[in-house]
Structure 1
Amino acid sequence: MSPDKETETELLKKANKPAELAMKYHPFYEGKIEVTAKCPVRDFNDFAIWYTPGVAEPCKDIKKNPEKVYEHTAKGNMIAIVSDGTRVLGLGDIGPEAGLPVMEGKALLFKYLGGVDAVPICLATKDTEEIIKTVKHLAPSFGGINLEDIENPKCFEILERLRKEMDIPVWHDDQQGTATIVTAGAINAHKVVGKKVSESKVAMVGAGAANIAIARIMVTAGFNVKNIIMVDSKGTLHPGREDVKKTHAEKWWMATHSNAEHVHGGIKEAMEGADIVVAASRPGPGVIQKEWIKGMADDAIVFATANPTPEIWPWEAKEAGARIVATGRSDFPNQVNNSLGFPGIFRGALDVRAWTITDEMCIAAAEAIAQTAEDHGLSEDYIVPNMDQWEVFPREAVAVGLKAMETGVARIKISRDELQHRAESAIRRARGETKLLMDQGYIRAPPE
């Protein structure tokens, strides 16, 4: 049944509420993160230990054995969130300063959900080589790099080059992170509707960094690439799309490996008879029409992941016949948002001092996410865990750490129990610190 006008108005009001509060809260706090002490300062004599002259001894120890930097400093739990501001949320190229609130928010999520310390670094350059060079120069201070909101297609080259040329994990959350959580949700959604992923017909709206990576990880997880039809701004990808052959290698691969029936057309044609549509394109609503969902297979699954507004409102998709609807937002059921992935994944990678984060590690994380939700009981409105089900993050960390050790990309080897202990301790500490600061008034209550 379609919502009446009053109900739809209330739904829209609720959907717009976070944006209204964001404009009140951000200037009130003047930023979401700050640097706090990790060591005691009992009196001023302690600075002789933490700084000069005492600090010279750990410096000399690291000089003799560079790996000791992980023992003497915060490097092993510190990552850089690097962006040039060219593809921020669904807002496009808004620049590094305008992208900073997003990167601060990312740092907050890293800390609270994964116990990972993160520093936002927004760069005043859009040049691929400059970005690569800058990130490589940052490596001594960080245990990992999170690339964020960098435009397609250069984001592919930046990630590939840095993964090859650096000895700490470099991760592009818009690619690997989105792919991990969407794959987890897609696996569970198919369980709910009783369909096999290997037989599922998949329509993918958008052919940017997110959907290209989602397709790759979904295929690794068991979906059939020949059953995928991907659509970019010019239409479906198929072998006749010579326009992408020289300029977009990843699109060309999809054009020549997917869409076995060589379907031509646009979003409507790609969605015809599809079991699931995965949209990672531009903010809606209106990008996906209700009529196109009506043309999908029975028990249709709709993932409308654009931020800040999904390609179609969830209630519209449901009205059109979708059985399961997921978005990237926390104010609707089934939030397939990267925040369920990157904190736990980096937690596991950092705890074993991994050299990189592989697709196998992403699949391990996706399986941990999916299993956590299944343990709580799957339903049409619950295919992935909620962020407040905090056990998902240590479960991911353990799965990722174990897979890193199994595949030979971990610097150190520790037991499953130790991985669990490290992850739980770091996350509990981060949450406990935040609560303590709130209780003591050092973090003020937000304005009315």
Structure 2
Amino acid sequence: MLKINREDALAYHEQSPQGKIEVVPTKPVSTQLDLALAYSPGVAEPCKEIAKNPDDVYKYTAKGNLVAVISNGTAVLGLGNIGPAASKPVMEGKGVLFKKFAGIDCFDIEIDATDPDEFIRIVKALEPTFGGINLEDIKAPECFRIETELRDLMNIPLMHDDQHGTAIITSAALLNALEIVGKKIGDIQLVVSGAGAAAVSCLRLYLALGVRKENVVVFDKDGIINPSRTDLADMQRQFATERPITTLAEAMVGADVFLGLSAANVLPAELLLHMAANPIVFALANPEPEISYELATSTRPDLIMATGRSDHPNQVNNVLGFPYIFRGALDVRATEINEAMKLAAVHALAELSKEPVPDIVNNAYGDNTLAFGRTYLIPKPLDPRLITSLSPAVARAAMESGVARRPIADWAAYEDELRARLGLDQKLMNRITSAARQSPRRVVFAEADNYKILKAAQLVRDEGIAFPILLGPPAKIQAIAQANNLDLEGCEVIDILQDEAKRNEYAELLYQKRQRRGITRYEGRRLLRERNYYAAMMVETGAADACITGLTKDYGKSLIPSLQVIGPAEGVRRVASMYIIQTKKGPYFFADTTVNIDPTAEEMVEIIGLTARAVRFFDAEPRVAVISYSNFGSNSGPLPEKTRRATELAKQRYPDLLIDGEMQANVALNLQLLQENYGFSPLADKGANTLIFPNVESGNIAYKVMQELGGAEVIGPVLMGMRKPVHILQLGASVRDIVNMTAIAVVDAQRDGKAL
């Protein structure tokens, strides 16, 4: 867990602008017309429409994406009743989490009211403003009544996250832990330390999942919850036990699960010894749990444990739930967040934990061993898949339970919308990946003695994208897999140095191909000891359908073997490469970025043709701009003249292609600039989506600047013009890059001899 310095925390909140949130206009307000539309007199028109049809408030205002985080400060984190003003930094922080993880806008509202009736009246009066209400840090037992009555009174989704957030996350963890140890939820003996809002909500959800009430024993600071107690709220009394138990030590004998939502160090280590085999301990008191992780796991090595801390496995963090639950509820305009929606979130969270962990999560946590098991029961908070797993599940449950007012019809489009909210627009790669899964192909990975390649191989196998063939020493591959908890079952592993007969066969084929290009039989046998040559020959002979290489070597050195063994497609004199730049405005295509150092005008025409064909391969219509530092003759020099000549020749060779140049990059990409100054251009209607650079320097620099400063996701390089599918990775590509390129290679191979 990070050690937070008091001064650092204060400075973080104090630096200008103070606090953590601000309001940003979503429409232009730079001209007098803009202001007149935004306010008087233009604002009157949507007001009149809403007066006629109240539901139009969702059409003309931000209500549908606006949640209130509301507290009276009576139970703030571990700070207790510190009052509404002191709770404001926490509520602002909750708003930040809503925005970061689900794209939901928030206003934090701190109410100076401890009387439940007054608090309920104030919150109910806010309903016209908000699409949803997140209640926060309200003490028990008042919080139970407040939430129950507000749910009955209001017709927008409302949830007290302190109750239900922890319940949902721990429920998912409990289901997975029980699956791992082979126990049925209806059979477990459960001991609970704590009887506050979170504990009671956990128990209610556990009962809905199948826990039997007679198997539950609950303690609070005053002892066991039993019928003789006169100090209990109704919500607590329902979990009173009739069993003849008086102490925690007695309750822990034979217990399968301990749930702690109470205070630090209330669970003595020796009590763990009396629990059943493979005990499950959720010690969730913060910042110090009911028993330390180190002590618990050393006392019972067969124990599965979760805490609320980020420095131990299985962190129970409410951010895994509330942003995505509200996202799904808002998107179908649910009238409430009901039990069906909470249970849907539980099951979605549990199932997501069983899927392979993406590279972006491994990198964020510096852990390549994350995989479903005792130390990975629930996903990590920075997993970008949470929004596309939980929100659709919640939205679907709202529809099926009859509380949705705006049902979703196209679920694929909805997932695209969710990704776009967080800058995760993957429509292009979604299509490619879906196509790859329809008919996966054999892809040979030439550099399989590398963790990233092996992780990608596991992913493409598990996702049904490809059948991986791994070239490398089997012992080394196995060691890497074991060290990183990778499962490579079903992946073919080939040690090319141990298969002399096949190597000699390939060497002879290489000699026959290249004997008039300086390759002798001896040289062929030497070259076939290199995995890039062997992989290329596998593709050439049909032993594999596509090849992926280049992760650990220079691009040119990785490309040469494939050029010599496979070569360009018929009619192609020069191969080229293209990067796909994923932006919030959609995909853009940059070429040539890695292969042709300084092509002539005639060679640029070849590149233009290959790129246009590749763009169509990705289901986009190419709108091609030939890039220079000149706009239609505004500057002279060798570079503008070359690009001008290339444009003229390309128009002659590809008369149906939408292309223009020479032009500067900002003109090509800024539609308003293009229309105002160069309305004669055929690109002035929609602007360019495909940029052809005059040399590899400019193309390479452009895509790397976009990647690092522009916040764009870069896919590629896509090798164009080869006779059979070969794709060369960027040096040091991520696992996600490798998976993307593998999917592209598979779809490339599906084209039956019509490689990109």
From 301, 304, 307, give the equivalent of 2:286. Answer: 307
- 2:417 equivalent to 1:422: yes
- 2:311 equivalent to 1:331: yes
Q: Summarize deviations over 1:377-423 as a string: whole Å, max 9, x none.
A: 41111100001111112211100100101111011111233432332
The Cα shift of 1:62 comes to: 0.3
Indicate the residue corresponding to 1:169 in structure 2.
Answer: 157
From 220, 240, 257, give the equivalent of 1:276. Answer: 257
CA distance 1:23–1:310, change in 2 (3 Å): farther
> What secondary structure does 1:119 align onto?
strand
Mapping of residues 390-429 of structure 1, within 5 Å = 390-415=384-409, 416-428=411-423
The Cα shift of 1:115 comes to: 1.1
Q: Following the alignment from structure 1 to structure 2, what is the Cα–Cα distance between the partners of residues 355 and 93?
A: 31
Conserved? CA contact 2:74–2:139, under 8 Å: yes
Indicate the residue corresponding to 1:25 in structure 2.
Answer: 12
The Cα shift of 1:268 comes to: 2.9
- 2:289 equivalent to 1:295: no
Q: Following the alignment from structure 2 to structure 1, what is the Cα–Cα distance between the partners of residues 421 and 193?
A: 38
From 356, 371, 375, give the equivalent of 1:381. Answer: 375
The Cα shift of 1:374 comes to: 1.2
Q: Following the alignment from structure 1 to structure 2, what is the Cα–Cα distance between the partners of residues 419 and 197?
A: 34
Partner AA of 2:222 in structure 1: K
Conserved? CA contact 1:80–1:120, under 8 Å: yes
Q: Following the alignment from structure 1 to structure 2, what is the Cα–Cα distance between the partners of residues 357 and 25?
A: 34
Conserved? CA contact 2:135–2:160, under 8 Å: yes
The Cα shift of 1:170 comes to: 1.4
Q: Summarize deviations over 1:209-243 as a string: whole Å, max 9, x none.
A: 101110111111122222111111222223333x1
Q: Summarize deviations over 1:126-167 as a string: whole Å, max 9, x none.
A: 111111011011111100111111000010000000000111
The Cα shift of 1:336 comes to: 1.1
Conserved? CA contact 1:238–1:264, under 8 Å: no
Partner AA of 1:408 in structure 2: G
The Cα shift of 1:18 comes to: 7.2
Q: Summarize deviations over 1:64-105 as a string: whole Å, max 9, x none.
A: 000000111110010111111111112211111221121111
Q: Following the alignment from structure 1 to structure 2, what is the Cα–Cα distance between the partners of residues 68 and 209?
A: 37
From 226, 240, 247, give the equivalent of 1:266. Answer: 247
Rg bigger for which structure? Answer: 2
The Cα shift of 1:24 comes to: 4.6
Q: Following the alignment from structure 1 to structure 2, what is the Cα–Cα distance between the partners of residues 335 and 81?
A: 23
> What secondary structure does 1:254 align onto?
coil
Partner AA of 1:252 in structure 2: R
Indicate the residue corresponding to 2:138 in structure 1.
Answer: 150
Indicate the residue corresponding to 2:239 in structure 1.
Answer: 254
CA distance 1:271–1:39, change in 2 (3 Å): farther
Q: Following the alignment from structure 1 to structure 2, what is the Cα–Cα distance between the partners of residues 295 and 19?
A: 41
CA distance 1:306–1:342, change in 2 (3 Å): same
The Cα shift of 1:22 comes to: 3.1
From 113, 121, 124, give the equivalent of 1:133. Answer: 121
Q: Summarize deviations over 1:11-57 as a string: whole Å, max 9, x none.
A: xxx55447775345333363222111212235342111111111110
The Cα shift of 1:305 comes to: 1.4
- 2:366 equivalent to 1:372: no
CA distance 1:23–1:276, change in 2 (3 Å): farther
After alignment, is 16-25 or 191-200 more displaced?
A: 16-25
Q: Following the alignment from structure 1 to structure 2, what is the Cα–Cα distance between the partners of residues 205 and 138?
A: 36
The Cα shift of 1:425 comes to: 2.4
CA distance 1:94–1:439, change in 2 (3 Å): farther
Q: Following the alignment from structure 1 to structure 2, what is the Cα–Cα distance between the partners of residues 439 and 204?
A: 50
Q: Following the alignment from structure 1 to structure 2, what is the Cα–Cα distance between the partners of residues 183 and 98?
A: 31
> What secondary structure does 1:48 align onto?
helix
CA distance 1:343–1:197, change in 2 (3 Å): same
> What secondary structure does 1:238 align onto?
coil
Conserved? CA contact 2:336–2:403, under 8 Å: yes
The Cα shift of 1:111 comes to: 0.7
Q: Following the alignment from structure 2 to structure 1, what is the Cα–Cα distance between the partners of residues 408 and 297?
A: 46
Which structure dedicates a bigger proportion of its chain to helix? 1
CA distance 1:181–1:263, change in 2 (3 Å): farther
> What secondary structure does 2:114 align onto?
coil
Mapping of residues 187-206 of structure 1, within 5 Å = 187-206=175-194
Indicate the residue corresponding to 1:216 in structure 2.
Answer: 204
From 335, 339, 345, give the equivalent of 1:359. Answer: 339
CA distance 1:21–1:369, change in 2 (3 Å): farther
- 2:64 equivalent to 1:76: yes
The Cα shift of 1:321 comes to: 1.1
Indicate the residue corresponding to 1:3 in structure 2.
Answer: none
Indicate the residue corresponding to 1:233 in structure 2.
Answer: 221
Indicate the residue corresponding to 2:446 in structure 1.
Answer: none
Q: Following the alignment from structure 1 to structure 2, what is the Cα–Cα distance between the partners of residues 34 and 294?
A: 52
> What secondary structure does 1:374 align onto?
coil
Conserved? CA contact 2:66–2:105, under 8 Å: yes
> What secondary structure does 1:231 align onto?
strand
Residues matched between the structures, number:
415
Conserved? CA contact 1:351–1:422, under 8 Å: no
Q: Following the alignment from structure 1 to structure 2, what is the Cα–Cα distance between the partners of residues 319 and 213?
A: 30
The Cα shift of 1:292 comes to: 2.1
Q: Following the alignment from structure 2 to structure 1, what is the Cα–Cα distance between the partners of residues 424 and 63?
A: 18
Q: Following the alignment from structure 2 to structure 1, what is the Cα–Cα distance between the partners of residues 176 and 8?
A: 33
Q: Following the alignment from structure 2 to structure 1, what is the Cα–Cα distance between the partners of residues 7 and 275?
A: 35
Q: Following the alignment from structure 2 to structure 1, what is the Cα–Cα distance between the partners of residues 192 and 385?
A: 31
Q: Following the alignment from structure 2 to structure 1, what is the Cα–Cα distance between the partners of residues 181 and 5?
A: 32
The Cα shift of 1:122 comes to: 1.2
Length-normalised TM-score, structure 1: 0.87
The Cα shift of 1:318 comes to: 1.2
- 2:26 equivalent to 1:38: yes
Note the residue ranges of structure 1 that are not aligned, 5 or more in a row.
Answer: 1-13, 441-448
Conserved? CA contact 1:177–1:342, under 8 Å: yes
CA distance 1:294–1:59, change in 2 (3 Å): same
The Cα shift of 1:313 comes to: 2.1
Partner AA of 1:398 in structure 2: P
- 2:326 equivalent to 1:346: yes
Identity of aligned residues (%): 43
From 134, 157, 181, give the equivalent of 2:169. Answer: 181
The Cα shift of 1:179 comes to: 0.8
Length-normalised TM-score, structure 2: 0.53
